[in-house]
Structure 1
Amino acid sequence: MHFIYGSCNDNSSKAAALYRERYSNVRHSDYRVFIQVHNLFCEGRLPGTGLSGASEGRPQRHIAVEVLELVEEDPSTSISQISRRTGIPKKSVHRF
């Protein structure tokens, strides 16, 4: 994203259009995302990283194990119940 933004002379609208053209099979980001990514790089941070370069949020592998264990314990449990018990968003629970 950042390279496309630069190749469009920091024009976020053009960058978003070029990104949609090149990557038609992925979810398209709003033009403002290109500005945010650029600003993070300028601040010396990488998008999606937290303090000290550690990834933000819970590691996905631990979420999968936790969800699968709960389903193994009670196969009739719902996504909503797992979400309430664990604090994992329903969307993440549904992935597993």
Structure 2
Amino acid sequence: MPRQYTAKEYANMHYIYGEFRGNANAAAALYRERYPNARHPDYRVFIRVHGCYSEGRLPGSGVGGTSSGRIARLDVEEAVLEEIENDPSTSTRTIARRTGIGKSTVHDILKKK
């Protein structure tokens, strides 16, 4: 996430994302309505913020992860394989949305296994 937001902004994003049960587009639209004078993050930021919190990391800080805020390759593979283990019929798009990992990366990992 190239632009840094405050901890409160990240918390608000995650809260709204939860209200819409993972619908990032709807969450982004509501965020714009509720906070008209704030920066308006792209819907992808909501997905990444959720992914960070789900992995026990703080968004934008790299705390608990790598310094860039991205998770290590082994952790990415583990997250994808765990999603498949939980539900083998899950699509790559759903896995990407749930984990915040790119769809093509998810596809590459599954192709290798």
Question: What's the counterpart of residue 27 of structure 1?
Answer: 39
Aligned partners of 2:43, 2:64: CA distance in 1, in Å?
A: 28
Distance 1:2 1:52, change over 3 A: closer
Which residue does 2:50 correspond to in 1? 38
Task: Please show how residues 35-74 of structure 1 align to structure 2 within 5 Å.
Answer: 35-51=47-63
| 2:56–2:64 Cα contact (<8 Å) kept | no
* Unmatched runs of 5 consecutive residues or more in structure 1: 57-96
Corresponding residue of 2:5: none
Q: Distance in 1 between matches of 2:63 and 2:31?
A: 29
Segments of structure 2 that go 5 or more residues without pairing to the other structure are 1-12, 69-113
Query: Identity of aligned pairs, percent?
Result: 64
Between the two proteins, the alignment pairs up a number of residues equal to 55
Residue 52 of structure 1 deviates from its aligned partner by: 5.3
Give, in whole Å, the separation in 1 of the partners of 2:24 and 2:64.
29
- Mapping for residues 12-23 of structure 1, pairs under 5 Å: 12-23=24-35
Sort the Cα spacing of 1:43 and 1:12 in 2 relative to 1 into closer, same or farther, 3 A: same
Greater length-normalized contact order (CA 8 Å, ≥ 6 residues apart): 2
- Give the structure with higher Rg (CA): 1
Kindly report the root-mean-square deviation, in angstroms, between the aligned alpha carbons of the 2 structures.
Answer: 2.0
Once residues 64 and 48 of structure 2 are traced to their aligned partners in structure 1, the CA distance between those partners, rounded to angstroms, is: 20
Could you tell me which residue of structure 2 aligns to residue 69 of structure 1? none
Q: Is the 8 A contact 2:57 2:63 kept in 1?
A: no
Contact kept, 8 Å, 2:17 with 2:27, in 1: the verdict is yes
Q: How far, CA to CA, are the matches of 2:53 and 2:63 in structure 1? A: 15
